[in-house]
Chains A and B, each alone.
Chain A
């Protein structure tokens, strides 16, 4: 490699990784785009956002739409996107689904920037970690639903952006930029607090771009947010605010209140531990351990086995890396070790957000950092190959290839899950503006016009029926 600057040598692996990511992401973008605008969670927000006479009045009123949530930007975004559709002449579906695709692409790009592929070993590690990023159940959760914009994906973008900034040498604009990202994330959903968590973890790990001023500024933003919530008398949803699983059963909010309302501590501990276990082992899902009921159904479902084996193998690698690299003490950590420590800390703190109930979306930021940690761990293992015997090297390659194969299979399943979702979401619209139930139609002409327009767009949208998809896929990709 003599005669060429090192930057050129670094460029080729980076370009290959970008190409690989693009080729995998583009078809995925198509699958995300195929999912129509949802009726539940989306239609109401779009209609409310569009009906308000001005952005200011919407912003002021939306602060008090709910006694447990403070999400002013949720409605504001919907309003802007409706206006964007009117200004560009695009369909509502194109605009709203296009934003979802853009968020997914941003997540992928930020992941690429965060892990910094520079060598061929990095490319090999990327080949394992990228399917982890796409295949982990928390990533699919960011793609499946929209409210009408997926706020968890927005939080993921903001969290990864802060993580990327923390890797750079400090600049004057980092603190205001981080505050902006945090404020935006907090204004769309409560999980936006994960952006602050990432900032604190980066500072604690000693990442160079996370200065004291950034931490103080971000903490002030979080403090102001909490004060505003308090002033508006907005409480956090407690146990019973949402359905969640316990053991092998999923319970409704009412059942949860009855079972755990009086003594919630045990259930909270279960949820926090379950959230972390879900990230590390893909079990439980929504608080339900499918393994617990597998003995009743004559053995675990194939999808459960695949997810469990893939996650256990990757988590084992992450644990190996942590044990071998982090025990030397923070002062001796490399930049990569600091990134790894942040990724692990974010996963643990993210699990704590599941205190009231477990949901894949809540741990979606943790899922992104799980992929970051897996990249670092795989690269760490690959770097040891030259010092190992050939048999050991071959076994490591075989192990990684199997793990990558399982994650790739999981990632390919995201297409199936999204197409299935597209079919389901499209069919939900048959209940909207039913000719035989005119009494249920909106009375407001503007609301009726928007609802009709979205419905007409959805009806014309072509989606794949599960009947034309492989029958075996349910057993291997749908939980």
Chain B
């Protein structure tokens, strides 16, 4: 015996309609729930999709946020001061480094040049460390740029140079 091939009986239409209606509406409602959770989390200080308010200058360099770099330098932050870089920004683990070191770690030449144009020192005291760090990181364009900044007779050696990390 085969099951009767009928359409939905009228008394079940409403119930089925409700179930199907909610099923169709489920995705945007799910989106709303996610958005509401994020808004509530933000109210308690957890903002997973925003830049932290207390970003240090090396952190701004590490995440290539040039305008944040500019803002901090214009407000008086020393562009050569080593500060904390939080875990996950340039690599796993927390480090203390200068903005230029963070820029080298991020591998973006533009950021190195931007920092230099805004007062970060690339001279005999910082060049050996930066060059060795760029070489270690495989940032060839940054290494080449830094070599251009060095005096002709400058012969850096990496022995004894302190790097943010050595592995």
| Chain A residues close to B by CB (< 8 Å) | 20, 23-24, 27, 120-121, 123-125, 127-128, 130-131, 378, 382, 385-390, 393-394, 396-398, 400-401, 404-405, 407-409, 411-412, 419, 423, 426-427, 429-430, 434-436, 458-460, 462-465, 467-470
Contact = CB atoms under 8 A, between A and B. Distances in A.
Interface string B1-40: 0000111101001001111111111111111101110010
Contact of A396 (B18, B20, B35): B20
Contacts of B64: 465, 467
A120 B21 contact: yes
A462 B47 CA distance: 13
A387 B13 CA distance: 9
B159 interface: no
A468 B54 CA distance: 13
B117 A436 contact: yes
A464 B50 contact: yes
Given A23-B32, A24-B31, A465-B51, A390 B16 contact: yes
Interface of B: 5-8, 10, 13, 16-32, 34-36, 39, 48-53, 62-68, 70-71, 74, 89, 114, 117-118
A20 B28 contact: yes
Contacts of A404: 24-28
B53 A462 contact: yes
Contact of A121 (B8, B21, B32, B34): B21
Nearest to A411: B31
B35 to A, nearest CB: 5
Nearest to A383: B17
Contacts of B31: 24, 131, 408, 411-412
Contacts, number: 139
Contacts of B7: 386-389
Query: Considering the complex of A and B, which 6 residue pairs feature the smallest CB-CB distances, nearest first?
Result: A467-B63, A127-B25, A124-B21, A405-B27, A397-B20, A408-B27
A386 B13 contact: yes
11 contacts: A124-B21, A387-B8, A397-B20, A411-B28, A411-B31, A427-B67, A459-B67, A459-B71, A463-B51, A465-B64, A467-B65
Residue from B13, B16, B24, B63 with most neighbouring chain A CB atoms (10 Å) = B24
A393 B8 contact: yes
Contacts of A393: 8, 16, 20
Given A121-B17, A386-B7, A460-B71, A401 B28 contact: no
Nearest to A21: B28
Given A20-B28, A121-B17, A397-B19, 15 more contacts: A27-B35, A124-B25, A127-B29, A130-B28, A386-B17, A401-B27, A404-B26, A411-B28, A427-B65, A429-B67, A462-B51, A464-B50, A467-B51, A467-B64, A467-B65
A386 B20 CA distance: 11
A131 B28 contact: yes
A387 B48 CA distance: 47
Contacts of A389: 5-8
Contacts of A24: 28, 31-32, 35
Contact of A468 (B18, B22, B49, B118): B49
Given A124-B24, A400-B24, A468 B50 contact: yes
B8 A388 contact: yes
B93 to A, nearest CB: 16
A66 B7 CA distance: 64
Given A124-B21, A131-B28, A401-B26, A390 B8 contact: yes
A465 B16 contact: no
Given A24-B28, A465-B51, A427 B66 contact: yes
Contacts of A429: 67
A382 B24 contact: yes
B37 to A, nearest CB: 12
Contact of A23 (B5, B22, B35, B67): B35
A458 B67 contact: yes
Contacts of B23: 397-398, 400-401
Contacts of B19: 397
A21 B30 CA distance: 14
Contact of B8 (A382, A386, A430, A434): A386
A468 B34 CA distance: 18
Given A404-B27, A460-B71, A465-B63, A382 B89 contact: no
Nearest to B36: A23
